[in-house]
Amino acid sequence: MNTIEACIFDLDGVIVDTAVYHYQAWKRLANELGFDFTEEDNEKLKGVSRVASLNLILGWGGLSKTETEKEELATRKNNWYVDMITKMTPAEVLPGAREFVESCKQAGIKTALGSASKNSATILDKVGISHLFDVVIDGNKVSKPKPDPEVFLKGAEDLGVKPQNCVVFEDAIAGIEAAVNGGMRSVGIGSPSTLAKADLVISGLDQINLEKLSVLGPISHVAG
Ligand code: B16
Ligand code: MG
């Protein structure tokens, strides 16, 4: 079995729950445009880029907009979202996330962030965990959305680790598919029925440690 040399973490839904802020900002935009936006709708946007999310929402509202109008709407939503995430605190790191990423680093496993968000630097800074990631690949650095593996392959490349030696942690179906498409093992965060293509599914990073991770493969440099 291939050794595990790097762990690549999605941000929203794995390290922090920014979906609640995306929800509030998209709902406000939809309401201003004259239709409603539910939490169920929001579920479908997890892991989906900002532009793709807007296109879906406009479709649900039965609206058609020009590219210039779409740019203005996406900016409006993002400004509200940024207002909320700049108020985030370290208490908002999801249970077990900080501890697990720290334990990876201590064991000599390299760590990367692999997120669709263009706001990942602000979020990591506000919750005080920027230093836990050797490499950050986000929506500013990639052009192809998950399930394309670009975000994770770039993370592996920048870490200097082969894809087959990486494990991806993801809460979105498209994210698990991106890991599979990139030739990486994956841990799904959520429900086993939804994330059936993941090699292992847990409810959150508080449910895993290095010993449990090692069911996916040997860890090369566990510190003594
Ligand atoms: P932004 P992830 C994703 O984060 C979110 O799940 C998704 O809802 C959001 O639309 C996307 O980031 C883009 O975010 O508007 O900040 O660029 O799960 O890939 O970490
Ligand atoms: Mg996610």
Q: Convert the pLDDT of each residue in 90-128 to its tens digit.
A: 999 999 999 999 999 999 999 999 999 999 999 999 999
Q: What is the pTM of this model?
A: 0.95
For residue 1, what pLDDT is reported? 86
For residue 221, what pLDDT is reported? 61
Residue ranges of domains in the chain, CATH in brackets? 6-17+91-216 (3.40.50.1000), 19-85 (1.10.150.240)
Q: Quick check: CB of 50 below 6 Å from ligand 1?
A: yes
Give me the catalytic one of 10, 138, 199, 206.
10
Q: What is the pLDDT of residues 169-196, one digit of tens each?
A: 999 999 999 999 999 999 999 999 999 9
pLDDT bucket at 220, cuts 50 / 70 / 90: confident
Q: How far is the CA of 9 from the centre of ligand 2 (A)?
A: 9
Residue range 151-156: mean pLDDT, rounded? 98
Residue range 145-151: mean pLDDT, rounded? 96
| Start-to-end Cα distance in the chain | 22
Catalytic: 125?
no
